[in-house]
Amino acid sequence: MTKPLAILGGTFDPVHNAHLRVAWEAAERLDAEVRLVPANVPPHRDQPVANAHERAAILRAALQGQDRLVLDERELRREGPSWTIDTLFELRDEIGAERPLVLLVGADAFLGLPSWHRWGELFDYAHVGVLTRPGHEIATLPTELRIKVASRRTADANALLASPCGRVLPMPVTPLEISATEVRALLAAGGEPRYLMPDAVLADPRLLAPYRTAI
């Protein structure tokens, strides 16, 4: 059976251990290759502090020493808003019609899905893995989202392997309370984010220079 491909998007401004841990757990749960896809122009948040080249360099350092998590720079090379539907369309064209493709999103992002560009089409290209806290149910869904996913929800990860797209799977992951906002503030104040970020990133002071000078 072909391994599924899963993607985790975000600004990764900067990437930290909570990003990496949930991606790793998703890779193990689905026995999947997981690509981290940093956005160039995020549609739903402020422009990142670090530029595309700088954030990609941090991610490359963070991903050293393993081969399950991979950096995918396609959105950094694309002009205009980094629409997820465009990324899924490109990936589906690359991997073919049959390989399972999984979009990984946090529970809060999942609740906001109806605000995404062409959100109803996402299920035509990928499954959605909703990253949740262990023992916590996904909160009450907005009406249009609830109707859209009612027949798609499953608790069985194998359901995502049996078809290329269209299902919604809650995926409990370890809740590490780390935020990029807090990491940026710590760096700007001259602090050391040890144990919040991979050692390979901390080993090269040049990688975090954009945040040391940020106001």
Residue 215 has pLDDT above 70, yes or no: no
Q: Give the structural domain span for 69.
A: 5-176
pLDDT band at 1, cuts 50/70/90?
A: low
Residue 214 has pLDDT above 70, yes or no: no
User: What is the Cα–Cα distance from 160 to 10, expressed in whole angstroms?
Assistant: 22
pTM: 0.95
Whether residue 213 lies inside any domain: the answer is no
pLDDT, residue 175, reads: 86
Query: CB-hemisphere CA count at 13 Å for 159?
Result: 15
pLDDT, residue 90, reads: 98
Which residue would you say has higher pLDDT here, 53 or 45? 53
Which residue would you say has higher pLDDT here, 89 or 136? 89
Whether residue 196 lies inside any domain: the answer is no
Residue 77 has pLDDT above 60, yes or no: yes
Which residue would you say has higher pLDDT here, 136 or 34? 34
124, 129, 132, 137: CA torsion to nearest 10: 60
| Rounded average pLDDT over 56-78 | 96
Q: Does the CA dihedral 29-52-78-45 come out positive or negative?
A: positive
Query: CB-hemisphere CA count at 13 Å for 80?
Result: 5
Q: Helix H segments across the chain?
A: 17-30, 52-62, 74-77, 84-95, 107-111, 122-125, 143-149, 158-161, 180-188, 199-202, 209-212
User: What is the Cα–Cα distance from 76 to 204, expressed in whole angstroms?
Assistant: 22
pLDDT, residue 44, reads: 80
pLDDT, residue 140, reads: 83
Whether residue 197 lies inside any domain: the answer is no
Whether residue 183 lies inside any domain: the answer is no
Quote the number of domains for the chain.
1
pLDDT digit string (tens) for 126-156?
999 999 988 777 768 999 999 999 999 999 9
pLDDT digit string (tens) for 191-213?
999 999 999 999 999 999 999 98
- Residue whose entry in the numeric block shows the structure tokens 């990133």: 201
Residues facing 171 on adjacent strands: 131
Residue 161 has pLDDT above 70, yes or no: yes
User: What is the Cα–Cα distance from 11 to 4, expressed in whole angstroms?
Assistant: 23
Whether residue 130 lies inside any domain: the answer is yes
CATH number of the domain residue 106 falls in: 3.40.50.620
Whether residue 190 lies inside any domain: the answer is no
Residue 171 has pLDDT above 70, yes or no: yes
Whether residue 33 lies inside any domain: the answer is yes
